[in-house]
């Protein structure tokens, strides 16, 4: 079982903290044959209390902005400002990605939002050509006449003064299944280096959805930003069903994060397990990641006792790169750390944990699996639930809290 450092419990709303890498709570992973490092899909055994090592940086955490309510994602604009989506239906614009940035509201028509449970205004991706088209894409749960319709991707255009945004493609992609309660809404978009939009989705707690190649739920999608159609090179691009053409991978439960490894372009997802085995997955085009709560259609309902990656039913399923064991951490957004200023943390995958209230720093081995996990003490229980992680243009990480009550914050994490 994976054991992490003990959290402090106190949620600090505004802080500047510096810690030595010795306080990272370094956890080392051995390549047990049944572990992820050994090619399996089980728990990655960790040990605690290993000493500091040369090349580990000090970390500083500062508060960029506060007074937010469930900030779900952040996106960086070319002029240095930062867009933030808040789950209950608000877009904010921060003056910058550094401590003490002012936040101003962006007027946008979000009256058709299903802000319930895990649903609402979710992930955000800034268009790579924002400097010329001022566009960004959101994930959001959609209602019509009071009835839930779908989870959809919507393209917006930000006004030159940043004070408002209007829809220019609604939907860019629709018909992602939605649960009336908002459960398992997933939906985190990330722009890949080739310009394709990669989107992780949830299965809407419908047992048949993850393995159904005519459904967009429980998948990762790869989308053309201009048309909403399949991006070039999709594994099912020639399928007769238009939904299947968008699919990159399937057999997922509730994808909360998608990250691109800088040097390789390899895609990784972070997703929630049931009462065990959150997973980080290395995405293989056309791959089945093995979640099937309908047990091949042999049971009704939503059987959460099945394995997250069911290698018995699906021997060719893609094993997880890392799984949490029990209890799960409720992992969410993820981003790769990049830049020489990070020392030996350069290239790790930073993953936020909601239930675990921590940031996990995962070393990816040559075979693509997670070989080591470190938890910075300064981000272990200090701020409560952590939701989004994005890498800023200057190499710092921006991390959001998700504790509700209108007092959530955007944090900046950087080496010093």
Q: Which helix (H) or strand (E) holds 131?
A: helix 130-133
Contacts of 46 (CB under 8 A, 6+ apart): 2, 3, 4, 27, 28, 29, 373
- Is 54 part of a structural domain of the chain? yes
**112 class by beta-carbon count within 10 Å (0-12 exposed, 13-18 middle, 19+ buried):** middle
pLDDT digits (tens, 9 = 90+) for 199-223: 999 999 999 999 999 999 999 999 9
- Which pLDDT does position 405 carry in this prediction? 85
Is the pLDDT at 191 greater than 70? The verdict is yes
- Is 1 part of a structural domain of the chain? no
CATH number for position 205: 2.120.10.30
| Spatial contact of 138 and 153, defined as CB atoms under 8 Å apart | yes
- Which pLDDT does position 55 carry in this prediction? 72
Q: Which of 332, 331, 335, 351 is nearest to 390 (CA)?
A: 335
- Which pLDDT does position 30 carry in this prediction? 30
- Is 11 part of a structural domain of the chain? no
pLDDT digits (tens, 9 = 90+) for 86-118: 999 999 999 999 999 999 999 999 999 999 999
- Is 3 part of a structural domain of the chain? no
Pairing mode, strands 82-86 and 386-391: unpaired
- Is 141 part of a structural domain of the chain? yes
52 vs 266, higher pLDDT: 266
Q: Which helix (H) or strand (E) holds 242?
A: helix 242-245
- Is 261 part of a structural domain of the chain? yes
- Is 10 part of a structural domain of the chain? no
Say how many domains are in the chain.
1
pLDDT digits (tens, 9 = 90+) for 336-382: 999 999 999 999 999 999 999 999 999 999 999 999 999 999 999 99
- Which pLDDT does position 9 carry in this prediction? 33
pLDDT digits (tens, 9 = 90+) for 375-387: 999 999 999 999 9
Q: Which domain holds residue 306?
A: 17-415
- Is 6 part of a structural domain of the chain? no
What are phi and psi for residue 376, nearest 5 degrees?
-65, 130
Q: Which of 318, 299, 72, 327 is nearest to 206 (CA)?
A: 299
């Amino acid at each position: 079982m994976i054991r992490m450092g003990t959290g402090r419990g106190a949620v600090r709303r505004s802080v500047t903290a510096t810690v030595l890498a010795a306080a990272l709570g370094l956890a080392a992973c051995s390549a047990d044959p049944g572990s992820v490092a050994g090619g399996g899909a089980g728990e990655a055994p960790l040990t605690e209390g290993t000493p500091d090592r040369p090349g580990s940086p000090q970390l500083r955490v500062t508060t960029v902005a506060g007074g937010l309510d469930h900030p779900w994602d952040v996106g960086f604009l070319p002029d240095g400002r930062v867009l933030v989506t808040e789950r209950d239906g608000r877009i904010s614009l921060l003056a910058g990605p550094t401590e003490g940035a002012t936040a101003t509201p962006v007027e946008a028509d979000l009256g058709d939002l299903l802000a319930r449970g895990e649903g609402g205004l979710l992930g955000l991706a800034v268009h790579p050509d924002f400097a010329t088209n001022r566009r960004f894409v959101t994930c959001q749960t959609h209602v019509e006449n009071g009835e839930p319709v779908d989870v959809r991707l919507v393209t917006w255009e930000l006004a030159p003064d940043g004070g408002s945004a209007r829809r220019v493609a609604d939907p860019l992609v629709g018909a992602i299944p939605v649960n009336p309660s908002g459960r398992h809404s997933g939906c985190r978009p990330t722009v890949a280096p080739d310009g394709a939009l990669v989107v992780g989705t949830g299965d809407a707690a419908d047992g048949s959805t993850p393995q159904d190649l005519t459904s967009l739920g429980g998948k990762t999608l790869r989308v053309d930003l201009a048309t909403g159609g399949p991006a070039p090179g999709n594994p099912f691009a020639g399928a007769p069903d238009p939904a299947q053409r968008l699919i990159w991978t399937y057999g997922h439960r509730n994808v909360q994060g998608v990250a691109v490894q800088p040097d390789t372009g390899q895609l990784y997802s972070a997703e929630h397990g049931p009462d065990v085995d959150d997973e980080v997955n290395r995405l293989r085009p056309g791959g089945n990641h093995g979640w099937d709560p309908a047990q091949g259609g042999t049971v009704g309902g939503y059987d959460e006792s099945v394995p997250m990656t069911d290698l018995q039913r699906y021997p060719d399923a893609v094993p997880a790169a890392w799984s949490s064991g029990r209890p799960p951490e409720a992992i969410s957004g993820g981003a790769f750390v990049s830049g020489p200023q990070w020392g030996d943390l350069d290239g790790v995958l930073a993953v936020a944990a909601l239930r675990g209230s921590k940031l996990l720093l995962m070393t990816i081995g040559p075979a693509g699996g997670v070989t080591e996990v470190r938890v910075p003490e300064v981000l272990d229980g200090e701020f409560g639930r952590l939701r989004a992680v994005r890498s800023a243009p200057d190499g710092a990480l921006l991390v959001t809290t998700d504790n509700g009550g209108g007092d959530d914050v955007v944090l900046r994490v950087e080496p010093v």
